[in-house]
Structure 1
């Protein structure tokens, strides 16, 4: 691959031959794997279903966007907060939160379906009114604090899992830090996967891994279960749907990053409305099948930058590999043998990074917090998200009867208040600009 880096960018991978094309596709599967399978470990969802949804979602995204955008759609971490509220992991015999909440997970998936439909609404609004007019309602002063709150809400569960074995947790955490700071090439791109592997080897040496589940698992199986498919509850929908407001902004940033990497403005063509539509339909499909929400993956964008091979075909090949892997239950059983402490060590930094991304969102967009308007909006969002989540862990009840309960989570309340205050308070000077900027693909500014 080093030789390839010295060559010019390749937009048609077929000129390399079928063998190399398949290898490049497998490399993208490897890049997405660690983060994608971590989400079901943190939520209790099925690993095989998650891999299937990632593959199908990616292929659907490419179909909607005309096969023009080299993006892979894997599991979204932003929705972990919603899953933690609607379907929190249950305690095992040792008190660790490792038991999937199978009763409530389908309702959380129903919320994911609704969140994906919100993408469709945004796509339609952009088509009708233009991207700049719509984006004024979702500036970084709103989306940034929401992302910060998501990570902070998840923090206690990371500590709970770490407490089961702090040695393993710190090995996982330290490996991720070392790979991310001092790693080169693929090591720097895959810190989470390497962190899991290194700490898992340590767990093997320490005798902390139980292989019983692997032996009893089949080599082949259908990665879908009707009992795990989406069910719908208004409270779960109101809890999870607002998270899409933050992930849509994440989507825009990811498409901007891919544009800058390849030198093509995908926000202009095929258009942000079509990329949002593809991402939203992929998310709704995943939720309906019992999987986590999908999102465009930065890990695969990193591989694009490393290899300078920008043909979207390699992403579709990676999607096909993910689908094939989903039909092997033994693989899912092996992943589920990862000790809770390792999951805690990885999520320790991962949840913090979610909040840090929110901080970066407001910093890079130069949000002026000396402006009282911006300070008030951010303060209300953070206190609402964290305060209501603490005081009402099952959501603030709005209506309750024997047949129906309607409640709003702290995240939902924070998102609603942030959007309304941004629209009502004077001084909204945010401007989204997607004009051409040379070979960088696009320019976004305040």
Structure 2
């Protein structure tokens, strides 16, 4: 799907965005910025692009770039507000029950992508089992911590090797290496400078700001639930928002899908147990260099569907568990009927919604619907006593 959205290699710009994020957050937040799936369906709708496996890249993105530029400015404005006035008002809209619901919804929604990759064919199912099984066995039984921390990489290599061997023995389909052979060794990214501002496109993109705010607040809480030591992550939420906004700005200039704190990053942190932002900085620098190495992009693109499905199934499952962990850490009481609704209905909708909800110019995918619904349900069901207490807390926050 993303190949239909992106005109330039996203690897290069994700590295640049992550470096900017590292600088803005002062190297305090262990997050690698990746392509945000929350806005993909909106971009495809704006550009009137229908993706197929054989279609070329989407070049009709000038209006999208203009809309993303406006979104970036709005996002940066909110970020600066949070930096100066704190995030208490965010907690008013998005407490742990909401953010946990959003993170869980993201994981379950994405699991359907894995399911599609896994069930492409019976052979892909076998390869996904082999790949996911390798990752889990290595992460648990590897003799050294170093091997456990790269279990995702090792599992992917094992799955790829098994697929290649089976293909060479005519046990299964062969891997298509034609893209690797035909691809040049090096190729510099090209930038589309023809940015257009269209009111309808801007109107379709701006609501995604709420989704970004909720998702990234959830990501920060999820990271905090994994990293039990050190200062609270929410201390840096304003800077994180600003880093995300600049990632969106880079996208608007470069012609790629926006880069924000990556949900899959949470899964990687859970598996590797490597929380050093400095390590992520080196990874970002390496990604920038690889962005010029066209052969690497071709190799990644050649990863078979079943192997990729096994990897993503592990990652997305960890995202689901991380959302549930937010509920557990914050001792959410599901004996309270309100929490059952807020934590249940959005998650179920995100799971079953695999086509966007379209209401005029307003369009959201399953993640976006779950985000808005979680926030709205919480406000509707929180009760008068909590409303009074929250307003009191917010007034106190501004006085301080």
Structure-2-length-normalised TM-score: 0.75
User: Which of these residues, 181, 184, 194, is aligned with residue 218 of structure 1?
Assistant: 184
- Residue aligning to 1:369: 334
- Residue aligning to 2:34: 75
Contact 2:102 2:367 in 1 (8 A): yes
* 1: CA distance, partners of 2:227 / 2:84: 23
1:188 aligns with 2:148: yes
Mapping for residues 275-314 of structure 1, pairs under 5 Å: 275-286=240-251, 288-289=253-254, 290-291=256-257, 293-295=259-261, 297=265
Mapping for residues 382-401 of structure 1, pairs under 5 Å: 382-386=347-351, 389=353, 393-397=355-359, 399=360
- Residue aligning to 2:20: 60
1:175 aligns with 2:131: no
- Residue aligning to 1:249: 217
- Residue aligning to 1:6: none
Cα deviation for residue 371 of structure 1 reads: 1.0
Q: Indicate how the Cα distance of structure 1 residues 213 and 248 shifts in structure 2: closer, same or farther if over 3 A, else same.
A: same
* 2: CA distance, partners of 1:373 / 1:324: 49
Q: Indicate how the Cα distance of structure 1 residues 103 and 51 shifts in structure 2: closer, same or farther if over 3 A, else same.
A: closer
Structure-1-length-normalised TM-score: 0.68
- Residue aligning to 1:141: 97
SS of structure 2 residue aligned to 1:136: helix
- Residue aligning to 2:307: 342
Identify the range of structure 1 (188-197 vs 101-110) with the bigger mean alpha-carbon deviation. Answer: 101-110
* 2: CA distance, partners of 1:355 / 1:111: 31
Contact 2:188 2:292 in 1 (8 A): yes
SS of structure 2 residue aligned to 1:344: helix
Which structure 2 residue ranges, 5 or more long, are not aligned? 168-173, 391-400
* 2: CA distance, partners of 1:200 / 1:350: 17
SS of structure 2 residue aligned to 1:332: helix
- Residue aligning to 2:125: 166
Contact 1:47 1:332 in 2 (8 A): no
Cα deviation for residue 92 of structure 1 reads: 4.2
Which structure 1 residue ranges, 5 or more long, are not aligned? 1-39, 94-98, 400-404, 432-446
Provide Cα deviations, 1:358-413, integer angstroms capped at 9, x if missing partner. Answer: 222212211111112222222342354456x36xx24232x2xxxxx443444333
- CA-atom RMSD in angstroms: 4.0
Cα deviation for residue 329 of structure 1 reads: 0.8
* 2: CA distance, partners of 1:198 / 1:249: 35
- Which structure has the higher relative contact order (CA within 8 Å, separation 6+)? 2
Contact 2:106 2:367 in 1 (8 A): yes
- Residue aligning to 1:96: none
Provide Cα deviations, 1:254-292, integer angstroms capped at 9, x if missing partner. Answer: 66479755x456654xx4322321233224424652145
Mapping for residues 424-439 of structure 1, pairs under 5 Å: 424-425=380-381, 426=383, 428=386
Cα deviation for residue 109 of structure 1 reads: 7.8
Q: Indicate how the Cα distance of structure 1 residues 410 and 396 shifts in structure 2: closer, same or farther if over 3 A, else same.
A: farther
Contact 2:102 2:218 in 1 (8 A): no
* 2: CA distance, partners of 1:218 / 1:243: 38
